[in-house]
A and B are shown apart, each in its own frame.
Chain A
Amino acid sequence: MSRIIADLKAFATQYMRNPVGAFFALVFPIILVLIFGSVFSQSASPEVPLPVQDLDGSAISGQFLEILNQTGTVEVSMISPTADIDDHIRDNSLSAALVIPAGFGATALSNTSVNVTLYGDQTVSSYGIVVGTVGAAVEILDRNLPNRTVPDQLVGMVTADIVGEDFSFIDFFLPGMIAFTIMINGLFILSALSAEYKSRGYFKLLATTPLGKSEWVLSKFLWFLIIMLISIFLMFAISIGAFGVKVTITPLALALILAGILLFTSMGLLIGVWAKDVESASTIGNAIGFPMMFLSGIFFQLEMMPEALQVIAYALPLTYLSEGMRATMIYGNDTTALIDLAVVLILAVFFFIVASKLMSWKEK
Chain B
Amino acid sequence: MSNKPIITVTNLKKHYGDIKAVDGVSFEVSPGEIFSCLGPNGAGKTTTVEMMEGLRTPTSGSIEILGADVTQDYASIRHRVGVLPQDFQPFDRLKAPEAIAYFGGLYGRKMTKQDVADLIDAVALSHRTDSVAMKLSGGEKRRLGLALALVGEPELLFLDEPTTGLDAQARRGLWRLLEGLRDEGKTIFLTTHYLDEAEILSDDVFVMHKGKEIARAPPMGLVEQHGGGISILLLDYAEKSTDKVEAMGFGVERIRNNVKVNLTEGASVREAIRRLDTSGVQFRDLITIEPTLEDAFINLVGGTIVGGELKK
Contact = CB atoms under 8 A, between A and B. Distances in A.
Majority DSSP secondary structure for residues of A touching B:
helix
Contact of A208 (B53, B102, B108): B53
A10 B94 contact: yes
Nearest to A362: B55
B55 A363 contact: yes
Contacts of A363: 50, 55-56
A7 interface: yes
A14 B56 contact: no
A210 B148 CA distance: 13
* Interface size of A as a range: 20 to 34
Interface residues of B, number: 31
A209 B75 CA distance: 9
A362 B81 CA distance: 17
B20 interface: no
A227 to B, nearest CB: 16
Interface in A185-229: 200-202, 204-211
Contacts of B56: 362-364
Contact of A205 (B85, B105, B132): B85
Nearest to A364: B57
A13 interface: yes
A11 to B, nearest CB: 9
Contact of A14 (B91, B104, B106): B91
A17 B132 contact: yes
Looking at A6, A202, A211, the one whose CB has the most chain B CB atoms below 10 A away is A6
A2 interface: yes
B105 A13 contact: no
A18 B78 contact: no
B106 A211 contact: yes
Interface in A124-168: none
B63 to A, nearest CB: 14
B265 interface: no
A88 interface: no
B231 to A, nearest CB: 44
19 contacts: A2-B105, A3-B106, A5-B105, A6-B104, A10-B99, A10-B101, A13-B94, A14-B93, A18-B93, A205-B83, A205-B89, A206-B106, A208-B54, A209-B106, A210-B107, A211-B106, A362-B54, A362-B56, A363-B50
Interface of A: 2-3, 5-7, 9-10, 13-14, 17-18, 200-202, 204-211, 361-364
Interface of B: 50, 53-57, 78-79, 81, 83, 85, 87-89, 91-94, 98-99, 101-108, 132, 148, 152
Given A6-B104, A13-B93, 19 more contacts: A2-B105, A3-B105, A7-B105, A10-B94, A13-B94, A14-B93, A17-B132, A18-B93, A201-B85, A202-B91, A204-B55, A204-B85, A205-B85, A205-B89, A206-B106, A207-B55, A209-B152, A362-B55, A362-B57
